[in-house]
Amino acid sequence: MLVLLDQTRLPAEEVELVCTDAPALVEAIRSLAVRGAPLLGIAGAYGVALAAVRGFDVEEAAAALEGARPTAVNLSVGVRRARAAHRAALAATGEPRQAAEAALAAARALHQEDAEASARMAEHGLALLDELLPGGGHRILTHCNTGSLVSGGEGTAFAVALAAHRAGRLRRLWVDETRPLLQGARLTAYEAARSGMAYTLLTDNAAGSLFAAGEVDAVLIGADRIAADGSVANKVGSYPLAVLARYHHVPFIVVAPVTTVDPDTPDGASIEVEQRPGHEVTEVTAPQVPVTGIGGGTPVAPLGTQAYNPAFDVTPPELVTAIVTEEGVVSPVTAEILAQVCARPAPGDDRLTA
């Protein structure tokens, strides 16, 4: 079985969610109980291993897991890696049990690699911050949740902020609440508080005031999928931050492992953006609130109100100052430099520039 921290219950409660088969994990992924690009990859790989260990149809489980959420490429990468290990072992040995062991080993390896990738992204990201903003005292704005809750290690963008905090060079972490599901308020604030960081929560639309007041030195976000041209799909609300950052000449930095880069997606227009249910917008759901609405929340809009609720938006490469990966920093963001960094077999130089 697979035991996950149910992220929908945070910060009010730390509840473990037990998945005994792949369909339960698919449901956990769809409901965002488990979420965040790197963690989705790890969960997908473990899900395939789980199906194999329990003797279910591995190919069927892999297909269901891969389709649970369309935008995050890491999910697909993790599922395929465990499935490939399973297929190879099955072909070589003909033993389902050995094939299941191979799938589990692949999931564990991915988990471990992700932790190591986090540490390297944090290192590269902090070096970049120090280069772009000499003197420290960084005031960093972040969106959504990118810390240890979504990673085998300390995360992506959050790991960089945490490294700055540990080095005594983080003045403030500005945390966008991240509507509609409030991952910033519920999860990033929780992780920042646990880490002893100086943080302040704000509504997503208050970020403009911070930029205008000169209170933001850099924006750091994660990514759910990066196209071959450097277009970045991330939590809805990232693109407006990129436009604000450009208007105010503030660096806009994306932190993501190379597995987030999908060479099969040529550009931003090719990225499929998941549309989520309207009730996430038309109803407010808070922990332990009695249920009355269609989605189990309390209505905050007239009944029958139609909602536009894309889960992600796409930021074009020209608005991205740098993409920080575990293999180095891509800056400026071009298809060529991105491909070069992603092609590295092992950690190489800190940075490639054109």
Q: Are 338 and 353 in contact (CB under 8 A)?
A: no
Q: Which is nearer to a copy of itself, 142 or 325 (CB)?
A: 142
Q: Which is nearer to a copy of itself, 72 or 89 (CB)?
A: 72
Q: Is 331 left (phi over 0), alpha (psi -120 to 50) or beta?
A: beta
Q: Which is nearer to a copy of itself, 106 or 244 (CB)?
A: 244
Q: Which is nearer to a copy of itself, 229 or 350 (CB)?
A: 229
Could you tell me the two tokens for 215? Answer: 């209170």
CA proximity to 256, closest of 158, 130, 345: 158
313 is catalytic: no
DSSP 107: H
DSSP per-residue string spanning 41-104:
HHHHHHHHHHHHHTT--HHHHHHHHHTS-SS-HHHHHHHHHHHHHHHHHHHHH--HHHHHHHHH
Main-chain dihedrals φ then ψ at residue 262, nearest 5 degrees: -110, 105
Q: Which is nearer to a copy of itself, 102 or 314 (CB)?
A: 314
Binding site for a copy of itself (CB under 8 A): 11-12, 174, 176-180, 182, 185-186, 189-190, 193, 199-210, 212, 236-237, 239-240, 243-244, 246-247, 273, 278, 281-282, 284, 286-290, 297-302, 304-310, 313-314
Q: How far is the CB of 310 from a copy of itself (least distance, A)?
A: 5
In whole angstroms, what is the distance from residue 87 CA to residue 81 CA? Answer: 10
Q: How far is the CB of 254 from a copy of itself (least distance, A)?
A: 16
CA angle 240, 245, 246 (to 5 degrees): 100
CA proximity to 309, closest of 285, 283, 276, 284: 276
- Of 224, 229, 313, 350, the catalytic one is 224
Q: Are 133 and 169 in contact (CB under 8 A)?
A: no
Q: How far is the CB of 315 from a copy of itself (least distance, A)?
A: 9
Q: How far is the CB of 220 from a copy of itself (least distance, A)?
A: 17
Residues belonging to the active site: 224
